[in-house]
Amino acid sequence: KNSNLNMLPKKSIRLYDKDGGKNIRVKNISMRTIKFLKDFATTLIEGRWRYTLAIFTVSFAGSWAGFAALWQLIAQAHGDLEFDPLTGERMGDGRAACTRGAYDYAGFFLLSVETQGTTGYGEKYPTEECPEAVFLLMLQLIIGTIIEGAMVGVVYAKLTRPPRHTGDFVFSRNCVICLRDGVVCLLFRISNFAEHQEINSRVEVYLCEKSTEGEPRDTKLKLENDGQITLYLPQIISHAVTEESPLFGYSAEELANADFEILVTLTGNSKATGQTSQSRTSYLPKEILWGYRFVNIINYDHTIESYTIDSVHFDAVVRVDTPTCSARSLQEAATVPQKDIRKRKKRQVPQDSFSSKYSLQVDMQVAEIAVKDVKSQFQAQSWDGFIDSVPIKS
């Protein structure tokens, strides 16, 4: 048994699951039930469907059973259930019975269901003989309308509420780090493959790491265009790793051994309902690929005269030359004066090893950071769904 348990896949230690669910549980809440009951409407909307439907089923059945007992009490108080054993005539007061056609609890239960759930009566119906029966009829109609209205409102809110998980929004399985216009950037891709369009879409990214006290500390990452995007086409979200970025000091090797989580939140308004929806995902350091970029999946098809999106290669990446040092080291190397570079090269390279022609050529070059092979550093990573392909040509 122990060996079988050890073979089971372990869940990653993360705050957000890849599908957007929160891996957070709150314990030891004082008066938890009372707090849920105080905001009962929100509890019904946020609860699972099985619980919501069970609560409304119990509400309907309880109201039918309760009002059936009240109908029977009124009939007993009026003497409608007492009959002459010889003639079979009613022995109660008044000219007529308060209810007709109901003589036991089963009959009154059917009367209660007909009163609350239908617009007319059959063989069982109340009469105008008893004012208390008329009052009970009005009360049951009001209670039944309240329950039905609450059920319609809660079901509609649950159907149109933002999904708990990413739903139609798709995030790339991995982040990538590469050079973009000479700047080290962290990139990931977002797309909306649904027919409906989200408006006012905004992306926010936070890097969550533990502080010295052991509590999580969030740092907001600055995004291109301040995170404002339009999702009519798949978008690549870019974070420039500059001096303000918490990733500024990470090299490829340090990133592979880092302990943090990148939390991504996409917020937008539904064009159909106007409601705000939110989708989430997260990336661990092992899910960040250094020295790769995303493959282009947007092409123009001249046959159908329309742009096409190749969703199969949504997560596909291709290797590109990227320095494996940190952005800080890259910036420091770029600011080293050429005079110092020539001095260092003269000390490190023996003059008799190369001709003066090649030595001069090396000395006049701008400082370069060697591009190392990144593949060995990520052999232990999960490559599910990873496609190492070339860009698709239109």
Domains of the chain: 32-160 (1.10.287.70), 169-329 (2.60.40.1400)
User: What percent of the chain is modeled with pLDDT above 70?
Assistant: 73
Strands 99-100 and 125-126: antiparallel
> Looking at the predicted structure, is the pLDDT value of residue 367 above 80?
no
State which amino acid sits at residue 91.
M
What pLDDT, in 10s, does the model give residues 16-61?
888 777 777 777 777 666 766 677 778 888 888 898 899 999 999 9
Q: Which residue has the higher pLDDT, 351 or 127?
A: 127
Q: For tokens 């209205």, what's the residue?
A: 149
Taking each helix axis as running N to C, give the angle between helix 105-117 and helix 49-77, from 0 to 180 degrees, rounded to the nearest 10. Answer: 120
Would you tell me how many other CB atoms lie within 10 Å of the CB of residue 8?
7
How does the average pLDDT of the chain come out, rounded?
78
Rounded CA separation 229/243 (Å): 24
Length of the chain: 394
Three-class HEC string of 302-313: CCCCEEEECHHH
Q: How far apart are CA 258 and CA 209, in angstroms?
A: 9
Evaluate whether 237 touches 169 at the Cβ level (below 8 Å). no
The Cα 219–Cα 223 span in angstroms is: 13
Q: Is the dihedral of CA 150, 151, 157, 160 positive or negative?
A: negative
- 3-state secondary structure (DSSP) of residue 99: strand
Task: Enter the tokens of residue 114.
Answer: 């007909």
pLDDT score of 169? 77
* Contact call for residues 241 and 177 (beta carbons, < 8 A): yes
Q: Examine the pLDDT at 6 and tell me if it is beyond 70.
A: no
**pLDDT: which is higher, 178 or 99:** 178
| Separation CA 207–CA 246 (nearest Å) | 8
Residue among 220, 218, 201 at smallest CA distance from 209? 218
pLDDT score of 98: 84
pLDDT, position 2: 47
pLDDT at position 138 is 93
Say if CB 112 and CB 139 are below 8 A apart.
Answer: no
DSSP 162: P
| Amino acid at the residue 106 | A
- pLDDT tens-digit series, residues 191-210: 887 766 667 788 999 999 87
pLDDT in tens, 221-280: 999 999 888 888 899 999 999 999 999 999 999 998 898 999 999 888 777 666 777 888
